[in-house]
Structure 1
């Protein structure tokens, strides 16, 4: 099976690395295109795959992954659509571009799968939502899911949830990084060296996330386990509530989903 990436930036590189590391694909099975020779050379050297500046060359692959920014999507589709046949699968990681929009832009029946991974793919811990078009078979969808599980978790969702996915996972690493940075800054203010503060803050977020995933307990129950009566943690929780921590996060995600919905 040949897989082609149109776009060879950070996300595409993370996906390629994960697929190769898990042995899901061999180097000769992958081709990637980029807008610049510098990027093409970097990716070729890093992964040992074939690279090109010609998107049409990539469009010959059995699975074509559009790993590009939304503003370039229409132009790229118009460039490659004559190369895409009825047996190929086109996978997008483009925010705000619906299956209907993609189908209309191709202007012909195409097997489409809309996805939204996130940047933790760079460390093999992504979560990806996949939404198949009506022409995609269950076997074809499972094959694409298998590839995406090479760099994290993959779940099939209805398209009506994709804007929520953008908010809760696609964009959320940025919120988490801000939270880690803020915690580290506060620790530095208390006298902790900055490098150590980042280690403590990041490891605490990692460990807390694993507790949610592995214990199956409600986050509120896990929070209560830390909050001793009249203790330090409940004092901090009270201050977060006073400053509107939860409502700020919810409003942040709503703004993100609204942006995705209206792109």
Structure 2
């Protein structure tokens, strides 16, 4: 049973805590979360898990072996200043704060602090996150496996170079929003053609889920899977023709590019 602390108790921290509990990696009384006194809903959520919720950042460090920085980027420097006097080489620190580099965290904490930077996404709320992580300079041999075990409790995870983090933020971090818009648009099309709204949403969402599983589980190239659905002179090719006319592919590529550039701008701002 890991002793886990959260510095920040918002939605992502709550999702991670729920995933760790469901996977049997910890139990409620082994979790401590810190948050502002005004965040009464977050406090109550952690208490409902059987965890301890406090209003200072030192207690989670003192009570835990694994710590998650789960606050907004603008608050990270203050949190690091709070914990610097009490963190030790016995702690493993995982940061999910967007745009804060490993080096930026390490330089504000004592030497030999074990730091891993993590980029999850919001489907962690339903144990379907696509997470990645990158390791700092002082990690121990078992730290990678610990991070992997924790992140796989809420979805999938891969280790990547830190230089990938901005495009990954744009792709899988922002990506759920692109897919929600896609589901909404598909459902709108169904409604336009006479389907009830609730049925159209269910069918659109299940179609996206099923197509995603086909890519992941069959390991067949998406283009080949697309071809398998596309009969000569059929309905699918008629629909695909319209998507090509409206440059759907270019729109998605452009969205990832724009979000990457914005992530780079934000990273420079919070690291300076």
TM-score where L is the length of structure 2: 0.93
In the alignment, the residues of structure 2 paired with residue 20 and residue 86 of structure 1 have an alpha-carbon distance, to the nearest angstrom, of: 25
Q: Deviations over 1:137-170 (max 9, x none)?
A: 2311211211111111111111111112112211
For 1:10, the equivalent position in structure 2 comes to: 11
In the alignment, the residues of structure 1 paired with residue 218 and residue 42 of structure 2 have an alpha-carbon distance, to the nearest angstrom, of: 43
Instruction: Give RMSD over aligned pairs.
Output: 1.4
In the alignment, the residues of structure 2 paired with residue 79 and residue 258 of structure 1 have an alpha-carbon distance, to the nearest angstrom, of: 31
For 1:203, the equivalent position in structure 2 comes to: 206
What SS does the corresponding residue of 2:199 show, helix, strand or coil?
helix
What SS does the corresponding residue of 1:106 show, helix, strand or coil?
coil
1:50 to 38, 52, 59: 52
For 2:216, the equivalent position in structure 1 comes to: 213
Q: Is the 8 A contact 2:14 2:46 kept in 1?
A: no
2:89 to 55, 79, 86: 86
Q: Deviations over 1:69-119 (max 9, x none)?
A: 112112211222212112211110111111112122336442110000111
Gaps of 5+ in 1: none
Q: Deviations over 1:179-202 (max 9, x none)?
A: 101111111111211111110000
Q: Does 1:254 align with 2:260?
A: no
For 1:41, the equivalent position in structure 2 comes to: 43
For 1:169, the equivalent position in structure 2 comes to: 172
220-229 vs 69-78, which deviates more? 69-78
> Following TM superposition, by how much is the alpha carbon of 1:40 offset from its aligned partner in structure 2, in angstroms?
4.2
Q: Is the 8 A contact 2:47 2:53 kept in 1?
A: no
Q: Is the 8 A contact 1:6 1:33 kept in 2?
A: yes
For 2:103, the equivalent position in structure 1 comes to: 100
> Following TM superposition, by how much is the alpha carbon of 1:223 offset from its aligned partner in structure 2, in angstroms?
0.5
Q: Is the 8 A contact 1:6 1:55 kept in 2?
A: yes
123-132 vs 96-105, which deviates more? 96-105
2:189 to 186, 200, 203: 186
What SS does the corresponding residue of 1:11 show, helix, strand or coil?
helix
What SS does the corresponding residue of 2:33 show, helix, strand or coil?
strand
- What is the correspondence of 1:215-230 to structure 2 with a 5 Å cutoff? 215-230=218-233
Q: Is the 8 A contact 1:40 1:53 kept in 2?
A: no
117-126 vs 137-146, which deviates more? 137-146
Count of residues paired in the alignment: 263
- What is the correspondence of 1:153-164 to structure 2 with a 5 Å cutoff? 153-164=156-167
